[in-house]
Chains A and B, each alone.
Chain A
Amino acid sequence: MRVRKELLRIGLTALAVFLLGLIQAGFFDRLKFFDCKPELVMCFVVILAARTDILRAGITGFLAGFYMDVVYGRYVGIYTFLYLTVSWAASLVIGKLMEKNKWLGLAALPPLMLVYEIAESFIVRFFAVYVAGGGELYNYGYGEHFAVRILPGAAYSLLVCVLFYLIMLLFLRIRRPRPDINYRREKDIVIDNAQ
């Protein structure tokens, strides 16, 4: 039973990554925001990681990134590494915050998306320039690059992440409906005893 459940979970995750990849490549060329497109698969992996342990999150990120590299990327390994890293970071940070309060996880998304975009920009440029050959790391200065590319990209991905986060909370609420009994708080119990 447990194995079946686990296989179902893996299958659904793979299907979601597959579909989100198709949607991103097929539709988001026309849904740009300041020339930027969001990374649906990355956002999905991040939100999924928030509810899983670090190892499972890392492996999911690794496989999703590898898939994106093989099907859509130029250099295989770049997004494998990026998704792996962002997944375990999300599991560690958002997961911990969610343990305290389910809404607190949202607070970790803006810095996470910003750091992801900065890392993506650096790693992609690094491989494009130094490993593949030629050019400057940032031709137009980092400030302009940050304003034109990193910030809008992070904002768009953040928007999608928040949407996925809310869907996840809704999903968790449906899966675990509130019990009918309304338990009294400790304070109420004390008052009862006093009476």
Chain B
Amino acid sequence: MSRKKKIAVFILIALTIVSIGLAFISAASNKLDGFFHLLGAPVRSVQKGFTQLGNAIGERISVMREYSAIKEEIQRLKDENEALRQENKELSGFEAENEELRRLLDLKENLREYQLIKASVITKDITDWFNEFTIDLGTRDGVKNGTVVITSYGLVGLVYNAGYNSSKVRCIIDERSELMCRIKRNDELLRVRGTTNENFTAGLVADRISKNAAIYVGDVIITADSGDVYPPGIVVGTVIETGTDEDGNRYATVRSDVNFTSLTTVTVLVPLENGNTDQPEQVEHEE
């Protein structure tokens, strides 16, 4: 083997060892997270624009697709149903708006100790292995590690790596996420955790359900007051299945109303300092 080839092999082995070492250090501890987050900050600013462009184009394309699919049907019914369709559309719009406002009002009542700030999703996990995304708010906006992220449809997740002007959020459906919750109907305590996304199947499972607790399909699960992490009363999801595992432990499958794959905006709960509840809130509609 020539000297040049030997050097090449040596460098490649060194790079391999460095990359494996980095992966172990990064996975085992979060000490370097802040540094790496800072390193990627300039690119994330540019990414925000690209993601917004992608969302805008995607929406146009989906509208075009839907339009072409129902074009013939619309044409056939257009004459006889025009007035009725228009009226119905308006009513549906009012209903959706009313529902959205009602949800936000409920949230506002429950979250008096927090400032609700709207945030845009800059980038999602591009490999789909981890259920996380990056938002355009950071420590300059009062966001820190452990800050709760929601939408009007329920709990989304927690900030786990807050940078100056952007932060990484881990969704509650991620397998590393778990939180204590209650059944809204009877206040029974249970644990809700995320499941693996290895086959694009990430979701929520509730366990540690007491033997006497009554839990049924359709029960709404809300956050419990657990160590000041999550404010109590935020909707986590609805029970869609109950069962018992091979060890005899009860479990329930919970479905969140939040569509984690199409999040574009979220609301961040920044605690108000000194319990000042008069501060103006910046809630806006989410998608």
Chain A positions within 8 Å of B, measured between CB atoms, are 18, 21-30, 35-37, 39, 53-55, 58-59, 62, 65-66, 68-81, 84-85, 88, 120-121, 123-125, 127-128, 131-136, 138-140, 144-145, 148-149
| A70 CA to B36 CA, complexed, in Å | 6
Contacts known (A55-B11, A134-B176); A62 close to B19, Cβ less than 8 A? yes
What are 19 contact pairs spanning A and B, CB under 8 A?
A25-B50, A26-B53, A27-B50, A27-B57, A35-B128, A37-B126, A70-B39, A76-B23, A76-B32, A77-B24, A77-B27, A80-B22, A124-B129, A127-B27, A128-B129, A131-B24, A134-B175, A145-B198, A145-B199
7 additional contacts, CB 8 Å, given A22-B50, A59-B15, A88-B12? A25-B47, A54-B12, A72-B40, A77-B23, A80-B22, A121-B198, A149-B200
Contact size range, B: 35 or more
Per DSSP, chain A at the interface is: helix
| A59 CA to B51 CA, complexed, in Å | 29
Chain B positions within 8 Å of A, measured between CB atoms, are 7-8, 11-12, 15-16, 18-28, 32, 36, 39-40, 43-44, 46-47, 50-51, 53-54, 57-58, 61-62, 123-130, 132, 175-176, 195-196, 198-201, 261
Nearest-Cβ distance from residue B40 to partner chain A, whole angstroms: 4
Per DSSP, chain B at the interface is: helix
Which B residues touch A138, using CB under 8 A?
Answer: 198
Identify A29's interface contact among B20, B61, B124, B199, CB under 8 A.
B124
Question: Does the CB pair B124–A25 fall under 8 Å?
Answer: yes
Closest residue of A by beta carbon distance from B39: A70
Nearest-Cβ distance from residue A94 to partner chain B, whole angstroms: 17
